[in-house]
Copies of this chain bind each other. A is one copy, B any other.
Amino acid sequence: GAVDKGVDFANYFCTYAFLYHQKEMLCDRVRMDAYFNSIFQNKNHFQGKTVLDVGTGSGILAIWSAQAGARKVYAVEATKMSEHARSLVKANNLQDIVEVLEGSMEDVVLPEKVDVIISEWMGYFLLRESMFDSVICARDRWLKPTGVMYPSHARMWVAPIRSGLVDQKKNDYDGAMDDWYGFLDDTKNSYGVDMSILTTPFAEEQEKYYMQTSLWSNLHPNQLIGTAAIVKEIDCLTATVNDIREVKSTFSSTISMEQTRFCGLAGWFDVHFRGRIEDPAQQEIELTTAPNTNNGTHWGQQVFLLHPPVHVDQGSNLDISFSMIRSKENHRLMEVDFDVKISQTSGKILPSIKKKFYIE
């Protein structure tokens, strides 16, 4: 369906109009280092070239591109953040190179095609926000046939985890339901209305909130209890909107930890800066949001909890089918389905677990 621009602004773009939010991204050192290195260690892609920055925000990537020697940089931003980007460009004396254009990428008209499209378009679990659509649109319209995408590739990962969150969320849910039953009594006794008919829908609402909504988390690597699998690979130079509208994958994971609880699945992504085959990067750079002992990223991982957790042992096998589609109500949010079959080391196969999640 067509997207109402006003609604999309109210739901999505509004947050990006705050410097506070841009600063959160600018403070993510893993992210910053990756883009910084991808540009300054691959000056060949920037020197004397024309660049398009899709969703420039504060203008940081456009400014780096100019500092790395670009001849011209078009920096497109949908929100009023464009005004701050423009003043930042000026304060860094790059106003002759960086041109900030306020508008949707989908609407903006450039005076020429570009050699490089750079963008930081990744949302939680890569595809939340559906901003890559705008990058695809920019690419198809404005990238020269010989042009390069920054980043050039992206991958989505899934792995089984253990996590105390599974107990915490179950407790929260139980607490909410206890509270509900107290409320039913009060309403009946004090106000003469029997609301018990609403118990089922209230429980469903709370279950969705506490147990079926994926959670942001920066996991410790030792919370990963089995092999991680790639569920999607994207070549940013060729991917179409149709390729990313739905992600489907069937894969196996072997439990690599002794006597543990399988509490759910975690999803994350990485992106790579490799240039293009005919014009490769001098230095390939990777930005990963995998669980890490050092700095997490502001993306963290998305955690999908399975209630109740299942005891598994080293060598247990998980056969997982995964699918992710956009929510019908809001194309920038996602719905995820997992179907998990556990084969224990004894050979016993447990009844398969189907669960639906919302990335809100």
Q: Which residues of A contact B (CB under 8 A)?
A: 4, 6-7, 9-11, 18-20, 23, 26-27, 29, 32, 36, 58, 60, 63-64, 67, 84, 87-88, 90-92, 180, 183, 186-187, 190-198, 201-202, 205-206, 209
Contact = CB atoms under 8 A, between A and B. Distances in A.
Contact of A91 (B11, B32, B191, B196): B196
Pick the most buried of A6, A19, A63, A84: most chain B CB atoms within 10 A of its CB: A19
Given A6-B6, A7-B7, A18-B205, 14 more contacts: A4-B4, A6-B7, A7-B10, A19-B198, A20-B206, A20-B209, A29-B190, A32-B190, A58-B198, A64-B192, A87-B198, A88-B195, A88-B197, A91-B197
A67 B198 CA distance: 19
A23 B88 contact: no
A206 B201 CA distance: 40
Nearest to A17: B205
B87 A197 contact: yes
A194 B67 contact: no
Contact of A26 (B26, B60, B92, B187): B187
Given A7-B7, A202-B23, A36 B191 contact: yes
Nearest to A192: B67
A242 to B, nearest CB: 26
A4 B195 CA distance: 34
Query: Interface SS of chain A: helix, strand, loop or mixed?
Result: helix
A88 B192 CA distance: 13
A19 B183 contact: no
Sort A-B residue pairs by CB-CB distance and give the 7 closest, nearest first.
Answer: A91-B197, A6-B7, A10-B10, A4-B6, A19-B202, A7-B10, A10-B11
A62 to B, nearest CB: 11
A222 B36 CA distance: 56
Contact of A201 (B32, B84, B180): B84
A6 B23 CA distance: 30
A183 B6 contact: no
Nearest to A83: B201
Contact of A84 (B87, B91, B198, B209): B198
A23 B91 contact: no
Contacts of A186: 27
Contacts of A190: 29, 32, 36
Contacts of A92: 193-194
A61 B202 CA distance: 20
B88 A27 contact: no
A23 B180 contact: yes
